[in-house]
Amino acid sequence: MPAIITDILKRQIARDFFDQFQNNTANYYVGISKSEQWDSSETVPTPVNNPETVGDFRDGMQSIKKIAGTSLVVPRNNWSNGRIYSQYDDRQQGYPANPYYVKTDNNQVYVCLETGRNALGVAQPSTIEPTGSNNHSFRTSDGYVWKFLYTISAANQESFQSSNFIPVQKQAPTDSSSTGIQLKQRSIQDNAVSGEVLSIIITDPGQNFTSIPTITITSNSGTGASATAAIDSATGQLSRITMDADSSTLKHGFGYGTALVSITGGGGTGAAARAVLPFSDSGVGSDPRVDLKTASVMFHSMLEGSDSDFLTGQDFRQVGLIKNPLDKNGLLFNQTTGNSLDKMTLSSTVSAFTRDKIIEGQTSLAQAYIDHLDSNEIYYHQTDATGFVAFQDGEVIDETNGAGQGIIDSSLIKGEVDRDTGDLLYIDNRAPVSRSTSQAEDIKIIIQF
């Protein structure tokens, strides 16, 4: 039986993630994993969505850090001179090939309500970057009609803007502490007009038109919208229909739940067109999450070189998103950072050990990768490659691929975080990232629905 998942459901799932974080009903952490090489040439594999991949990530997980912030996001479309932009269309499935919204150099976000067209009806490149923050739509001299939605603040740029995504939010009620950006977005939302006719799209150009026909927009509820047609004199067909304007104010009208477009006069026949109405009942600008079809959420955290639970002088190759991990005692972990590696202490060291080598117990034959060395402590992890045999207190361990040797005092001291707990929601494989005290990793995890 044919079926679809609607944009409404996708938005709701994304908002549920966002709301859980905002309302502190779930703890989200970024985790890093895998200090050992992918292979001899460090070829990064594509993660496979199965339990083995999840288990491998948990085996090598070094540390976790609480997510610092989250935001709904949409694909980033920088305004570019000479690019053709699609117009907002209530019948468009997903995103059109040409973007219908842009971010400008001033970090302002606009939605395109009407594509600029020439007298023949051919879509033209945008050559005038939209500016200003009017509450209502406006037409630029290249024929495009734009509607301002919001400005991305400097803080949101730093935390939630990437090369491919920009943050989106609905502005909550403002107060005396609100910024100018917040006040303006709230004004845009509050002044959004319900039931505007945003544009009119020709569905059949008709034939034999010798003069401009009359465009009539009828509805059982709306009023005030008007538009004008143009014809191609060479073909006798409609070439474009644009919304009328009174001075600089476009006549979108208001209150249209439905809108029927009639084309009469002009000597021609067969022409047809349809009206485009807002996605939201409250109008364009009332909720940019709806206008921009927001169905993705970004989680952000900064791994600082000074984070004590994160190893330096070591690298990682995987990043994960973990929901509600537990500590080693089985309680919900809620600290800012946590170490998840096992460690052993040595009663004596015969020859120095080296990180990334493999150690083996002479009695147990257990093996593990060395992640970190701290005085008489060895932080380690085991994988399918090493096996999961337990080391024994008092046994001698040697490096299988090095000169290190020592005697174990305590073979298993669990990390703060139980790495086998929590829902692992996301895994990103990448080239090795080396950590040092002088650097920070800006982690942005994007989940798309």
- Distance CA(167)–CA(157), nearest Å, equals 8
pLDDT top residue among 247 and 267: 267
pLDDT, position 13: 86
Contact assessment for residue 98 and residue 85, using Cβ atoms and an 8 Å cutoff: yes
Tell me how far apart the alpha carbons of residues 117 and 125 are, in angstroms, rounded to a whole number: 9
User: How far is it, in rounded angstroms, from Cα 372 to Cα 351?
Assistant: 16
Neighbours of 153 (CB within 10 A): 18
pLDDT tens for 370-400 read: 999 999 999 999 999 999 999 999 999 999 9
Tell me the β-bridge partners of 408.
Answer: 346
Share above pLDDT 70 across residues of the chain, in percent, rounded to a whole number? 100
Contact indicator for 193, 252 with CB cutoff of 8 Å: yes
Run of H or E including 182: helix 180-190
Give kind and range of the element (H or E) at residue 261: strand 260-264
Q: Please, which pLDDT band fits residue 404 given cuts at 50, 70 and 90?
A: very high
Split at pLDDT 50, 70, 90, the class of 306 is confident
Q: What is the DSSP string of 99-125?
A: -SEEE-TTSEEEEEEE--B-TT--B--
- Dump pLDDT digits (tens) for 432-444: 999 988 888 899 9
Token pair belonging to 58: 């948990």
Whether 8 has a pLDDT exceeding 90, the answer reads no
Q: Check residue 16 and give its pLDDT.
A: 87
At 436 the pLDDT is 87
Chain center to CA of 147: 23
Task: Say whether pLDDT at 329 is over 80.
Answer: yes
Tell me the DSSP string of 370-390: EEEEETTEEEEE--TTT--PP
Contact predicate 29/334, CB 8 Å? no
Average pLDDT over residues 344-351: 97
pLDDT for 15 equals 86
Angle ∠(38,44,45) on CA atoms, nearest 5: 95
Read off the pLDDT of each residue in 264-277 and give the average, rounded to a whole number.
Answer: 97
Q: What is the pLDDT of residues 218-250, one digit of tens each?
A: 998 999 999 999 999 999 999 999 999 998 899
pLDDT of 327 > 80? The answer is yes
| Average pLDDT of the residues of the chain | 95
Is 49 in a helix, a strand, or coil?
Answer: coil
Per-residue pLDDT of 109-134, as tens digits, reads 999 999 999 999 999 999 999 999 99
CB 108 within 8 A of CB 146: no
What confidence category does residue 84 fall into, taking pLDDT thresholds of 50, 70 and 90?
very high
3-class SS at 267? coil
Q: Residue 328: how many CA atoms within 13 Å on its side-chain side?
A: 11
CA distance 158 to 71: 12
Q: How far apart are CA 380 and CA 356, in angstroms?
A: 9
Minimum mean pLDDT range among 35-44, 161-170, 271-280, 436-445 = 436-445
Amino acid 305: pLDDT: 84
Q: What pLDDT shows up at residue 278? A: 95
